Amino acid sequence: MNPARRLGFIIAGITFLADQALKWLVMGPLALPERLQIDLVPFFRLTWAENRGVSLGMFTAESDAGRWSLVALTALISIGVVVWMLREKARGDILALGLVLGGALGNIVDRVRFGYVADYADLHFGEFRPFMIFNLADAAISIGVLIVLARSLLSREKAADQPAGPASES
């Protein structure tokens, strides 16, 4: 395995472990499920939320069958990310995919263990909330996807700016 892929999988592992450690902290020692909210600074608090759906709470699983269907769907997506990481040649994309994989695995473990994804991060500016309540795994997935998209768009623009090869003569 080349060093970039190894680093991508290390990033996935670190992301997964950090996500699970933070969830343990908020659910255990900080007792956030019982306290519901802990103010940290004027624009950020810990707020307990159980996300039974996927991104933005869509496709809420109301039954065990729904829960396990979401586990299966997200596991298939994670397998797709692993395959993509193994085929990808661009180091930046591999590292970004590592963030996506680590975050996805963290949320899958939650859904298997609890039946929901534990969310707790509540960024707000007064009444304005730029995001729904999220967790480290969600942030890693979002950042990884944004990096892949930005790199894809920038590399296409760069390729479009490159002059074509020598003109063929007829």
The answer to whether residue 80 sits within a structural domain is: yes
User: What pLDDT was estimated at residue 45?
Assistant: 93
Residues 6+ apart with CB under 8 A from 70: 53, 54, 59, 61, 111
The answer to whether residue 168 sits within a structural domain is: no
44-51: strand order across its sheet: 37-41, 44-51, 117-123
Which tens digit of pLDDT belongs to each residue from 31-87? 999 999 999 999 999 999 998 877 655 667 777 887 888 899 899 999 999 999 999
Choice between 165 and 82, residue whose per-residue pLDDT is larger? 82
Q: Is the pLDDT of residue 10 over 90?
A: yes
Determine the Cα–Cα distance for residues 19 and 137; give it in Å rounded to an integer. 6
The answer to whether residue 164 sits within a structural domain is: no
The answer to whether residue 165 sits within a structural domain is: no
The answer to whether residue 107 sits within a structural domain is: yes
What letter does residue 57 receive in the DSSP assignment?
G
The answer to whether residue 141 sits within a structural domain is: yes
The answer to whether residue 125 sits within a structural domain is: yes
Domain that holds residue 33: 3-153
Count of domains forming the chain: 1
Determine the Cα–Cα distance for residues 71 and 11; give it in Å rounded to an integer. 22
Which tens digit of pLDDT belongs to each residue from 115-131? 899 999 999 998 888 88
The answer to whether residue 167 sits within a structural domain is: no
Determine the Cα–Cα distance for residues 158 and 170; give it in Å rounded to an integer. 29
**Residues acting as catalytic residues:** 119, 138
